[in-house]
Amino acid sequence: DIVLTQSPDSLAVSLGERATIKCKSSQSVFYTSNSRNYLAWYQQKPGQPPRLLIYWASTRESGVPDRFSGSGSGTDFTLTISSLQPEDVAVYYCQQYYSTLSTFGPGTKLEIK
């Protein structure tokens, strides 16, 4: 299985400041045939199901605020929230769909400082 690790486990950021979450894959999730990274990001608020934020590592899902952005390639990826808002408090997960056996990262808990 492809193992995803995330860092940090948790972080606290002041309102309006930048939040950065990293996801590292045990093997590349980049397909050379179509030049795409098979990685997605999700947000989960307490008591709610996860919500898709980003797919193809950097494509924002419809309706997701543009303060959310994804970057990276191969094995190293980053989710950035450019200006933290109160409603961004949540746990964030990365997911690889490069393999038919999909896997998620362990999650990063984001709080307000």
- Residues within window 44-103 making contact with other proteins, judged by CB under 8 A: 44, 49-52, 55, 61, 91, 93, 95, 97-103
Site stretch for other proteins (CB under 8 A), options 19-27, 38-46, 66-74, 80-88:
38-46
Residues 51, 53, 55, 61, Cα dihedral to 10°:
100
What is the distance between the terminal CA atoms of the chain, rounded to a whole angstrom? Answer: 36
Task: Compute CA distances 113 → 28, 34, 84, 86, whole Å.
Answer: 34, 41, 10, 11
Please state the closest distance from residue 19 (CB atom) to other proteins, in A.
19
- By CB under 8 A, tell whether 30 contacts other proteins: no
The footprint of other proteins (CB under 8 A) covers: 1, 38, 40, 42, 44, 49-52, 55, 61, 91, 93, 95, 97-107
